[in-house]
Amino acid sequence: MNWDVFITCAVTGSGDTVGKSDLVPVTPEQIADSAIEAARAGAAIVHCHVRDPETGAPSRDVKLFREVTDRIRAADIDVILNLTAGMGGDLTLGSVEKPLPVDPAGTDMAGATERLAHIAECLPEICTLDCGSMNFGEGDYVMTNTPAMLRAMAQGMKDLGVKPEIEAFDTGHLWLAKQLVSEGLIDDPVLVQLCMGVPWGAPNDMATLGAMVANIPDSWEYSGFSIGRDELPYVAAMALHGGNVRVGLEDNLFLSRGVKATNAQLVERAVTILNGMGAKIMGPDAVREKLYLKKRLPNA
């Protein structure tokens, strides 16, 4: 059991969720406001993507990230900023009979420097590193992160002084993460996010979660989540497995059956669950001390 737990709120994600809930934030102002509300509710870390303000589609626009970053840092509440660096590895093949040429509508492939452009501009305290490739969902889409790309991105993050949060969707991703650490590309204390229940990565049963945790070195810090209706039960599961927790509209849209949630409500529910288990909720300064993070000032 982890008795001192920090909560990450994944604010909006890049999935096709905007049409499923009108509470998913879309504009930079909405994303920042929702992140700030989550921080007030008890989240020490907010994990942010950005979306096209007109369409709600996922975006890598540096200006949108800059606006979200500035709004969050100008708020009167402290929170650790974690920006995605997962965009730019989206590959959608043409069809099962003619995989090439790829489908341009679903493909967004970018080089390592371009994938980190908004990280270099905004300098968050943390950014994500999806530590492997996988069949992600249905159809012909593949989340693509080659070892060479990951080495280049890890080095880029290290050069910028931004801590990677390793996103592990299966045990092989943890294996590759250990290799990156052994090569000096990721510094201690290593931070991992266990991403459970995402088709077709690690299923979210307790045996698989136990196997994932067993593959994490003792000196590493880890958090985890599951998606949909399993998001809130995983708050308890992660604490019981010695980890920290993540909730938010990126992973789940509902507070209970048929009741749409806000990010703040999901964080509040996580706080209630953890407090009921006797756990203490860590604030951002305590998390910075644990993870050796340097607080970023407004306009940094």
**20 domain residue, yes or no:** yes
Instruction: Please say whether the beta carbons of 9 and 15 come within 8 A.
Output: no
Give φ, ψ of 200 to 5 degrees: -120, 65
User: Per the domain annotation, does 283 fall within a domain?
Assistant: yes
Count of domains forming the chain: 1
Report the pLDDT value the prediction gives residue 299, as an integer from 0 to 100: 62
Residue 299, domain member (yes or no) = no
Count of residues making up the chain: 300
Residue environment code for 179-208, b if the CB has 16+ CB neighbours within 10 A, otherwise e? ebbeeebbeeebbbbbbbbbeebbebeeeb
Quote the domain boundaries for residue 159: 4-291
The helix (H) or strand (E) run that includes residue 51 is: strand 50-51
pLDDT in tens, the chain (300 residues): 999 999 999 999 998 999 999 999 999 999 999 999 999 999 999 999 999 999 999 999 999 999 999 999 999 999 999 999 999 999 999 999 999 999 999 999 999 999 999 999 999 999 999 999 999 888 999 999 999 999 999 999 999 999 999 999 999 999 999 999 999 999 999 999 999 999 999 999 999 999 999 999 999 999 999 999 999 999 999 999 999 999 999 999 999 999 999 999 999 999 999 999 999 999 999 999 999 998 776 766
Match 């995605």 to its residue by tokens.
Answer: 84
pTM assigned to the model = 0.96
The pLDDT of residue 300: 61
42 lies in some domain: yes
Residue 225 CA to residue 191 CA, distance in Å, equals 14
Residue 68 forms part of a structural domain: yes
298 is a domain residue: no
DSSP state of 132: S
What is the rounded CA–CA span in Å between residue 90 and residue 75? 33
Cβ proximity of 154 and 117 under 8 Å: no
Closest CA relative to residue 190, chosen from 231, 236, 158: 158
Contact 191, 161 (CB under 8 A): no
pLDDT at site 173: 97
pLDDT of the residue at 296: 75
**232 assigned to some structural domain:** yes
Could you tell me if residue 237 is inside a domain?
A: yes
Distance, in Å, from the CA atom of 253 to the CA atom of 233, rounded to the nearest integer, reads: 14
Q: What is the CATH number of the domain that holds 100?
A: 3.20.20.70
Cis-peptide, bond into residue 101, ω within 30° of zero: yes
Rounded to 10°, the helix 28-41/263-276 angle is: 20
